Structure 1
């Protein structure tokens, strides 16, 4: 088994990947982390709901994590992009954009997802700052402020109920005629709650901090935060090319330990779960790293 370059190659070196690498490094496994340097939270100013790091920037947490992980002598880190993985359990070949080739017993994909943002001016620039997806990650910072929800589906009612916990100044923007039955909102007990069916033209912001929503009819509305659940795709198609099964929502299907449908391949982090938070990614990475080691011991 030791004729391979590495025991595990981890594709993606953000929080899940680094956490898995720490577990494997402490198990004295030869590990290579290959990271393209494009985390989905790169615009997010602060991270929350992670004990001991609440309020730190993602870059600060990542830098500290990387320094601690690389203190283990059997763990290496390469800034590169994996473009292909071939082979089978205990005999994988990993190829990168820079032309490097590595052999490894196991693979862990912690590659995250790529959000597909609507083509609304100012949306992308504000994504992760004041255009947000998770109240548990960012809701406290916008409590009681003028808040919008950009949604137009049957799940909008549940989203409105959820965000109403953080603010009573709440508007549902459907960006066009509502396609759901508006009567379901009649029992919403949020003073001043309204549904706006105008099409959105632009989000006016200052360095990602929202100020005004401009509608296509020329009218405007002041806004401090806007929640949106946007579609996503996997950041890389390599797992699917390897045969890894996806869930109906588009996540890589894994068991509770991060094992995919392909023998020898694991996955952890945002690419496997709706729980998109640093703490969730760290927990998933730790579990995957530990069970990769258990699998190699068993073999």
Structure 2
């Protein structure tokens, strides 16, 4: 184990689009940066990422590979394959410890830890997730345009999602996997548009080689489909923001201002951990804004010391 304490300007916990783009901006600002990444991204099941100009259709693994190649141009950036297990200290004097015994001291700290899926409790959903079952129509709706789909959702969010998905296909069935959480007025709205609604629990999702064939309900009803959109249950990718005292939102993400500042001076957060956008391009942009804000603070502090 290496217990040597290394000093750096910024420690970034998380090596996804938010963390890597933050590292790029800071590296170009001549700051010394350490990115600690455990290498278990949420989108590992995803075959392609979409909606990022010049990178449309890229796989998440290839995106990270190309991003890391960009960072090689800046020798002040170091990427460490490790897990951050503790964070302590205050603005200008943070200390981070890793699972492999590394220790880092930094002026600023950025949590780009993303979100993680809770276990999928619908039998057969894990087998199709990322292949024919998705969570974001902006990311994957084009590939499923005009196809018969099943929407797994309920309550108020369902009445937001149904009009949204109708821009890609009008051939969809709603399965709420239990009580639908709707008002009678909302049910009538769906009926008027000819949208089937089933609140019977799901028995299984049947598929072949990751491609969904049908959703089978416990009463024997089979709903044929070629794709699924569902609402995952998420949790923040690390408990470190909470342990350091960062304020969290009702949804469990880190509360930040438009530049990624948390409630703790010197601590920032970006990407999925600090928003509900869940878009590759949005995460990268948030990382860039947070990096600029951290750099400005460090430059101003150095200016005042002169």
Residue 30 of structure 1: aligned partner: 32
More helix by share: 2
Task: Please show how residues 122-161 of structure 1 align to structure 2 within 5 Å.
Answer: 122-161=124-163
Out of 193, 213, 216, which is 1:214 matched to?
216
Size of the aligned set, in residue pairs, is 297
TM norm structure 2: 0.93
Given that 1:83 and 1:238 are in contact with CA atoms closer than 8 Å, whether structure 2 keeps it comes out as yes
Unaligned runs of 5+ in 2: 302-306
Query: What do residues 75-120 of structure 1 show as CA deviations (whole Å, max 9, x unaligned)?
Result: 0011000000111111111100111111111110100011224311
Distance in 2 between residues matched to 1:6 and 1:249, nearest whole Å: 32
Shift of 1:268: 0.4
Given that 1:245 and 1:261 are in contact with CA atoms closer than 8 Å, whether structure 2 keeps it comes out as yes
Residue 164 of structure 2: aligned partner: 162
Residue 63 of structure 1: aligned partner: 65
Query: What do residues 168-208 of structure 1 show as CA deviations (whole Å, max 9, x unaligned)?
Result: 11111011233322432434488642101221011122343
Residue 179 of structure 2: aligned partner: 177
Distance in 2 between residues matched to 1:47 and 1:82, nearest whole Å: 27
Runs of 4+ deviating beyond 4 Å: 188-192
Given that 1:4 and 1:105 are in contact with CA atoms closer than 8 Å, whether structure 2 keeps it comes out as no
SS at match of 2:21: helix
SS at match of 2:42: coil
Residue 52 of structure 1: aligned partner: 54
The reply on whether 1:97 has 2:132 as its aligned counterpart is: no
TM norm structure 1: 0.95
Given that 1:161 and 1:188 are in contact with CA atoms closer than 8 Å, whether structure 2 keeps it comes out as no
Query: What do residues 153-174 of structure 1 show as CA deviations (whole Å, max 9, x unaligned)?
Result: 1221121111111111111101
Residue 12 of structure 2: aligned partner: 10
